[in-house]
Amino acid sequence: MDAFVIEGGRPLRGSVRVNGSKNASLPLMAAALLTDEPVTLHDVPRLSDIGNMVRLLEALGCTVERPENAGRLSLHVTDDTRVEAHYDIVRTMRAGICVLGPLLARRGRARVSMPGGCAIGDRPVDLHLRGLRALGAEIHLEGGYIVATSPANGTERLRGRSVFLGGPNGSTVLGTANVMSAAALAEGVTVIESAACEPEVEDLAGMLNGMGAKITGAGTPRITIEGVERLSSVDHTVMPDRIEAGTYVIASAITNGDIELENYPGQTLLALHDRLEQVGVEVTPDEAGDGWRQRVRISTRRRLEPVHVVTQPHPGFPTDLQAQLMALLCLADGNSMVTEKIFPDRFLHVAELLRMGANLTRTGPSVLVSGVGELVGAPVMASDLRASAGLVLAGLAARGTTIIRRVYHLDRGYERMERTLQELGATIERVDQETLA
């Protein structure tokens, strides 16, 4: 198992390109199950979650080709008789559930293990099941598996209907992806109300339309899908990773750095920009691009102001950047309040930041962040993907050495994070955890 050793205190300088999005790539890959023609994706990041999705699709009869060191991934269904997504693979990532809708729609049957993913609190799948049931699927749970069949014991197509996907904390991103993918091949028109508006849903709709689907309204709370009988080949470029991009913006700010990011999806990060502007960090386009792929420069005032932030569904502040922003606010001049409205227990980074000298007080879904003059390097433990990213950022700013154990969590979502940070001038090494005293 690997660990990161970081010597803090170096301002980041230079330019890096944002990779393709993990959370967009995973449902896009699963959608390859909707056709027997080849699907080619460009700019797929090299991450352990992507490797696990490849293994899952191979187990479901897909041939996958990925040239060494390229972002291109070619997926082609060659055996459409397999319908089981085994616990061993699906437990490693939440997005494993994304094969459920496509399997049901195309093969009439699915047996999919309840998914895993980050340990960030309860993560039910009731909305996914509610949506697919509304399309006529028969679903029951058996031994930790979701067992589903399309109408008439798997012999008929799903049926378009009105589907409401609102839950206690808003809509569901992967649930919307699942239902939208399934509805693309259903008979008749499906209207998803209270759909997730996340950009990754829009990216998926764009690819499905490229395959011949008839989807309108993706990116809004009402998505209309006119089912078609078959979908065909497509060549699609994955959107840039807005969470990776936001993480590097905050890395620049926390080290008082000056960096440029290419392939930056500025239009998807307006809530981050808004909060950062209050803090004293500006993200300025160098080239306008189209708002989804820009070049930007990050500049930071020396004094960081405190700010209140509430995580919300898109276009609100993303929960996947909460830990990173909290690390920055630890160094602001005053009291900030961070409230989690999506995953109210997503605070495993709090105890670790305390080890580094942060002043944090949690009450239920909120954390009072009282700014301190400095953070001090310490041994800490990565607990989940974004909490670990928050610790890396804290380590980059801290005085002295920070050791972060269990960085496999980071490898789920950041391609070669230590190399990117090294290119920007950080002192960070990946070491075998066993070699540490």
Q: How far apart (Å, rounded) are the C-alpha atoms in residues 291 and 178?
A: 27
Amino acid at 359: N
320 binds ligand PEP (CB under 6 A): yes
Q: How far apart (Å, rounded) are the C-alpha atoms in residues 324 and 246?
A: 9
Contact 159, 133 (CB under 8 A): no
Cβ distance to ligand UD1 smaller for residue 200 or 418: 200
Catalytic residue numbers? 118
94 binds ligand UD1 (CB under 6 A): yes
Q: Is 125 marked within a binding site?
A: yes
Cβ distance to ligand PEP smaller for residue 53 or 259: 53
Binding flags for ligand UD1, 24-63, as an x/- string (CB under 6 A):
--x-------------------------------------
Q: Which of 385, 396, 397, 417 binds ligand PEP (CB under 6 A)?
A: 385
CB of 50 to ligand PEP, least distance (A): 11
Of 153, 154, 142, 25, nearest to 87 by C-alpha is: 142
Q: How many residues bind ligand PEP (CB under 6 A)?
A: 11
Cβ distance to ligand PEP smaller for residue 49 or 202: 49
Spatial CB neighbours of 153, under 8 Å, sequence gap ≥ 6: none
DSSP 2-18: EEEEEE--PPPEEEEEP
In the three-class reduction of DSSP (H, G, I as helix; E, B as strand; rest coil), residue 98 is classed as: helix
CB atoms within 10 A of CB 317: 25
275 binds ligand PEP (CB under 6 A): no
Cβ distance to ligand UD1 smaller for residue 168 or 373: 168
Report strand pairing: 162-164 vs 189-193. parallel
- Our separate counts of H helices and E strands in the chain read 15, 24
Contact 327, 390 (CB under 8 A): yes
* Residue 302 in tokens: 């020396």
Angle at CA 95, nearest 5°, toward 90 and 100? 75
Rg of the chain in Å (alpha carbons): 22
- Binding segment for ligand UD1 (CB under 6 A), chosen from 63-71, 83-91, 119-127, 420-428, is 119-127
Cβ distance to ligand PEP smaller for residue 65 or 126: 126
Of 413, 384, 389, 395, nearest to 18 by C-alpha is: 413
Q: How far apart (Å, rounded) are the C-alpha atoms in residues 176 and 158?
A: 16
23 binds ligand UD1 (CB under 6 A): yes
Q: Is 421 marked within a binding site?
A: no
Report residue 23: phi and psi, to 5°: -75, -15
Binding flags for ligand PEP, 403-432, as an x/- string (CB under 6 A):
----------x-------------------
Q: Is 23 marked within a binding site?
A: yes
CB of 48 to ligand PEP, least distance (A): 11
- Binding segment for ligand PEP (CB under 6 A), chosen from 91-99, 148-156, 366-374, 420-428, is 91-99
Q: Which of 127, 238, 410, 417 binds ligand UD1 (CB under 6 A)?
A: 127
List of residues contacting ligand UD1 (CB under 6 A): 23, 26, 94-95, 122-128, 167-169, 172-175, 196, 319-320, 342-343
List of residues contacting ligand PEP (CB under 6 A): 23, 93-95, 117-118, 120, 320, 385-386, 413
Output the known binding site for phosphoenolpyruvate. Answer: 22-23
Output the known binding site. Answer: 22-23, 94, 123-127, 320, 342
